[in-house]
Structure 1
């Protein structure tokens, strides 16, 4: 598996030698090796070799029998599923087709972990590719619709669904055209969000829309296809333009009413790194003049459009009947907990904030919260520099607070005083004017509630999300 991640076939081939039929299958469908006919026939049994050839799984040549597809198991936490895709370019020297069907990569797995898996009546997977999100949706959705602009991707998705004994309504078309007029309880999407021009070299990567137009279309148009209370989760990218706030750019894709949005930036790449990464993903050799020409053309386009960086992350949406609440923030820190459950809890906390005055509410601290005080050398020994509260689970947020904030958080209890009274007592004890402190306390409390450090008593007592 480590060699697989590194894209090194030789150690994988060596590990397969003593594995009998299993090793032959791995060589056929992961490495794409040609093997002797008798070995292939034994490994494929009870399927007949001629059946496998006529079905297009393998081909016969002078070198022997070779696999045409990448077929491998995947356990994403709900049991083994079998996934099909075009051969992995990191393991086989093969020019990718324009309609190349990408396998399950890091982006697909990150979206899977970021997708809320609560029970849902209807689920839409836009741009299904190899079908991984639709197959995962079968674990929580009652009816699945999967779409893609690529007929080849839909062929692969149908095959993968059949191989796993699952059913979905698979439809051909671009963006939301195949589901015009329909609404869903949940939408999941891994669209062709790569930032570039209008050329489409690889269908899974390039949308033909300029800059971050693909992400804008997905974010904007998904809202019309959500039922009230419905949730959308998608991978997206956005450009950082010279002199423009990228948060305002992304927020402008959403309406002023009817949506709660949590937009999380997980990484930012400078144009040079961004372009070279995606070219290598398409097996371009940047030492070759042709590869360098493609790289120069792409970089020149981004420079002319004043692109200083490209952000990447997740967009979580919930349809409401209230004024929109849109938060764009960085989430660069490392964490292990799946983001899907946290996204649901975040949206629930936003709904709670809309319906409550934090000063009238009672709170408890998330039990994972820790207080950190940083001291630095001063003229007379250690001098306080900053005080923070850290959340120890989920995305592990941290907030800076002052001494008064520390006193307030020490005084909150689910069976105690409302927050406003706790703030007033802390202010009087510190010699500060409560009227001046209360507005600052509201801002701090709302931020801590959004990030799950401060838990409303009614949510905690009712078993609701922290």
Structure 2
């Protein structure tokens, strides 16, 4: 196999010029979207390059040149590159290790992509994809901005913290996001090539990262953080010669043992009140419940946990997904051998399905019982989800610290995004179904009875929950104690999920 190209080098005398030229060319998420148009831009997001190729082939602008060079991996005339990067120049681009030049044509040695969130914009370098190179990935391939990394970035809560950890940083995407709300960030990875890319990406974006090489939490032994974020190599991969191992996805452990290891050990590295956020796969035996497996990992950790399963696949679906990953083509002998190896591996452990989800854990800041919530939410959610995750962690923590008495003593207000639906049979005086629905966060819908519908309707902060339930019981001529007992679990659920907010 051809050796992977050397990662780019963050030369301090040249990086500012690169940054200035990229900005001047409009090489940003919005700039590329406007230049390509919605069809080509959406296709590019699906790793279909042809529409973007056609859209930039004759454009002749600096932005089109950069897209062709770094995004599409196309050879570009040297004079066009020089014109697109007038401050850095072609020689500077070569010295940074971003391109090679031959016979008047320039070829990128890596992918360079703009990336952004609601308030920041960055550039991210990584290895060229198999779509750009036309070849299968190398084992030490450094992945760029993929679906998992964008999912984690969107779901990560973002409190202001003094110190954060990005474990398994890859090319450094999560560390870039952390830079916006962490005083300092440690980023670790087992791959030295990945750390070299992360160092370049930190430099080109004018940031400083504490980069450390090692597996899982080894590089930060004995240290604690207020926030830990991780997109670990969670893919369940057979340990056989027929299946190639990629550093970006394979953690070196059988089954879902790597995710289990993260769950069991992350609490040792969290400050009291600290939050951990990561993605994972978990195996579920035939006829078993995924909650039992994940709950078993959490036992004895002393952590609060909110685990949201977003997807589930049977063994064949999982094998098809990851056998294709890396540039392997269905129908080839190599693909068929990998497919069979995955199915055989799952069969040895009696796996009936594989779950994928987002794991949020918290080390309690006070002496109390921990809370654990394991739920399935496969539908559309808000983006970003991070604010809802942070609010949900804080609400569940408040409930654990204050109990039912605190809920009854507090005044609550209905969140602005909550609506009510009533359904009834034609001609009926009263509704047969009442549903309250939230428009943001997990976008949950909760079916409620008449008492709870009345309770939510009066949650404007004037009355405590206890006073409101007392008044509703009197109005309906029901026993106040029975009304409180029936309503409290639902009130707690509504508080936890953000339907009801503290005054």
Contact (CA 8 Å) 1:266, 1:331: kept in 2 or not?
Answer: yes
Please give the TM-score of this superposition, normalised by the length of structure 2.
0.84
Query: Within 2, Cα distance between the matches of 1:409 and 1:48?
Result: 63
Query: Within 2, Cα distance between the matches of 1:440 and 1:181?
Result: 46
Q: Which residue of 2 aligns with 1:408?
A: 455
- CA deviations 1:215-240 (Å, max 9, x no partner) are 21222211111111111111122222
2:495 paired with 1:449: yes
What SS does the corresponding residue of 2:396 show, helix, strand or coil? helix
2:381 paired with 1:332: no
- CA deviations 1:313-345 (Å, max 9, x no partner) are 211122113221111112222133421111111
Contact (CA 8 Å) 1:125, 1:145: kept in 2 or not?
Answer: yes
Query: Within 1, Cα distance between the matches of 2:289 and 2:62?
Result: 56
Contact (CA 8 Å) 1:116, 1:344: kept in 2 or not?
Answer: yes
Structure 1 residues 62 and 335, CA gap change in structure 2 (3 angstroms): same
- Structure 2: segments with no counterpart, 5+ residues: 1-40
Aligned partner (choices 396, 415, 423) of residue 366 of structure 1 = 415
Query: Within 1, Cα distance between the matches of 2:411 and 2:447?
Result: 21
Please give the TM-score of this superposition, normalised by the length of structure 1.
0.90
Deviates more, 1:339-348 or 1:400-409: 400-409
Q: Which residue of 2 aligns with 1:298?
A: 342
Displacement, 1:7?
A: 2.7
2:174 paired with 1:133: yes
Displacement, 1:52?
A: 3.5
Displacement, 1:201?
A: 1.1
- Structure 1: segments with no counterpart, 5+ residues: 461-466
Aligned-residue CA RMSD in angstroms? 2.3
Query: Within 2, Cα distance between the matches of 1:383 and 1:411?
Result: 19
Displacement, 1:146?
A: 0.5
Query: Within 2, Cα distance between the matches of 1:415 and 1:66?
Result: 67
Aligned partner (choices 159, 166, 182) of residue 223 of structure 2 = 182
What SS does the corresponding residue of 2:417 show, helix, strand or coil? coil
Displacement, 1:15?
A: 2.0
Q: What is the correspondence of 1:112-127 to structure 2 with a 5 Å cutoff?
A: 112-127=153-168
Aligned partner (choices 54, 63, 76) of residue 14 of structure 1 = 54
Structure 1 residues 384 and 242, CA gap change in structure 2 (3 angstroms): farther
Aligned partner (choices 446, 466, 487) of residue 399 of structure 1 = 446
Query: Within 2, Cα distance between the matches of 1:63 and 1:381?
Result: 80
- CA deviations 1:257-296 (Å, max 9, x no partner) are 7422211112222222222122222211111121011111
Contact (CA 8 Å) 2:369, 2:400: kept in 1 or not?
Answer: no
2:257 paired with 1:216: no
- CA deviations 1:393-414 (Å, max 9, x no partner) are 2222221112232233334442
Contact (CA 8 Å) 1:4, 1:12: kept in 2 or not?
Answer: yes
Contact (CA 8 Å) 1:256, 1:324: kept in 2 or not?
Answer: no
- CA deviations 1:404-434 (Å, max 9, x no partner) are 3223333444222x43343344345445444
Q: What is the correspondence of 1:342-357 to structure 2 with a 5 Å cutoff?
A: 342-356=388-402, 357=405
2:215 paired with 1:168: no
Q: Which residue of 1 aligns with 2:437?
A: 390
Query: Within 2, Cα distance between the matches of 1:204 and 1:118?
Result: 27
Structure 1 residues 25 and 240, CA gap change in structure 2 (3 angstroms): same
Contact (CA 8 Å) 2:370, 2:400: kept in 1 or not?
Answer: no
What SS does the corresponding residue of 2:130 show, helix, strand or coil? coil
Contact (CA 8 Å) 2:267, 2:301: kept in 1 or not?
Answer: no
Contact (CA 8 Å) 2:238, 2:341: kept in 1 or not?
Answer: no
Contact (CA 8 Å) 2:152, 2:279: kept in 1 or not?
Answer: yes
| Aligned length, in residue pairs | 454
Q: Which residue of 2 aligns with 1:76?
A: 117
Q: Which residue of 2 aligns with 1:85?
A: 126
2:52 paired with 1:3: no
Displacement, 1:54?
A: 4.8
Query: Within 2, Cα distance between the matches of 1:13 and 1:411?
Result: 58
Contact (CA 8 Å) 2:166, 2:175: kept in 1 or not?
Answer: yes
Query: Within 1, Cα distance between the matches of 2:455 and 2:97?
Result: 67
What SS does the corresponding residue of 1:279 show, helix, strand or coil? helix
What SS does the corresponding residue of 1:94 show, helix, strand or coil? coil
What SS does the corresponding residue of 2:298 show, helix, strand or coil? coil
Query: Within 2, Cα distance between the matches of 1:311 and 1:412?
Result: 37
Contact (CA 8 Å) 2:234, 2:281: kept in 1 or not?
Answer: yes
2:188 paired with 1:147: yes
- CA deviations 1:82-136 (Å, max 9, x no partner) are 1001112233312201011111122211211212222110010000011011111
2:353 paired with 1:309: yes
Query: Within 2, Cα distance between the matches of 1:381 and 1:442?
Result: 29
Query: Within 2, Cα distance between the matches of 1:85 and 1:104?
Result: 8
Query: Within 1, Cα distance between the matches of 2:222 and 2:462?
Result: 48
